[in-house]
Amino acid sequence: MGFTVTVVYDNETLDESLATDWGFAAVVKDSRDTMLLFDTGADGDILERNMRLLQMDPQDISIVVLSHWHWDHSGGLSRILEKAPRATLFVPPGQHPGLSSERTTVVGGAPLQIAPGLYSTGTLSGIEQALVLTGEKGAFTITGCAHPGVPAILAAASTLGRPYGLLGGLHGFAHLDMLDSLDHVYPCHCTQRRLEILRRFPGKAMPCGAGLTIQL
């Protein structure tokens, strides 16, 4: 099964028509056009505007996955719940007013299938989950901030396939040798060594920002 991943919220942009803001969100579509939103950025207005400029209707979202509850990843959730009230949610432990218990799964510490080819790593260190897209190439991982550490996230992803790609916020991740085995790296949002990663892995590491679209 193929996937299309589009970054719709980031503090950088690859499209000047899109707004930038501190936070992160990405849309994943599968070959059946199922729309999954991973994180919701900090501001619902910015999230919705960017999605519409990218020809995406928030009402079409059927699945929402939150990496963690920090404001810059969950701030747009209320807007998405208004636009897509029937979406199913997969969230780490925590509380948010207005969540339907019938449509919300609180993800534990083990990997969990969300949809065909789409998995959560499980909530690592009790705080954050990552999204894993699986296929013939192996496992492509999308992170929010990687607070549990990139090694722990890639180890969890490796139970689902060979890790070959990584996209998202990597915070202070410094053991860059771990990226040698990956085919694709997209350092986004809070990655403190973003420029170092791009310089060290030319051709493998690519700039991230709102408007980035990749086909898997």
Alpha carbons 118 and 141: distance in angstroms, whole number: 10
Domain layout of the chain by residue ranges = 3-215
* DSSP element (H, E) containing 154: helix 150-158
Nearest 10 degrees: Cα torsion 16, 208, 94, 126 = -170
Work out the mean pLDDT of the chain and round it to a whole number.
96
Confidence of residue 46 (pLDDT cuts 50, 70, 90): very high
Place of tokens 């499980």: 122
Q: Check residue 68 and give its pLDDT.
A: 97
- At 77-116, the pLDDT tens digits run 999 999 999 999 999 998 776 787 889 999 999 999 999 9
Name the CATH code of domain 3-215 (choices 3.10.20.740, 2.40.10.10, 3.60.15.10, 3.20.20.210): 3.60.15.10
Alpha carbons 215 and 114: distance in angstroms, whole number: 20
Percentage of the chain beyond pLDDT 70 is 99
136: burial class by Cβ within 10 Å (0-12, 13-18, 19+)?
exposed
- At 112-163, the pLDDT tens digits run 999 999 999 999 999 999 999 999 999 999 999 999 999 999 999 999 999 9
Q: Check residue 97 and give its pLDDT.
A: 66
| Residues ≥6 apart with Cβ < 8 Å to 175 | 150, 151
| Residues ≥6 apart with Cβ < 8 Å to 74 | 39, 40, 66, 68, 96
| Residues ≥6 apart with Cβ < 8 Å to 84 | 58, 59, 60, 61, 62, 64
Q: What is the pTM of this model?
A: 0.97
* CA 56 to each of CA 27, 34, 122, 142: distance values in angstroms, whole numbers, following the listed order: 9, 12, 28, 20
C-beta of residue 132 within 8 angstroms of C-beta of residue 160: yes
Q: Check residue 136 and give its pLDDT.
A: 94
Strand partners, 57: none
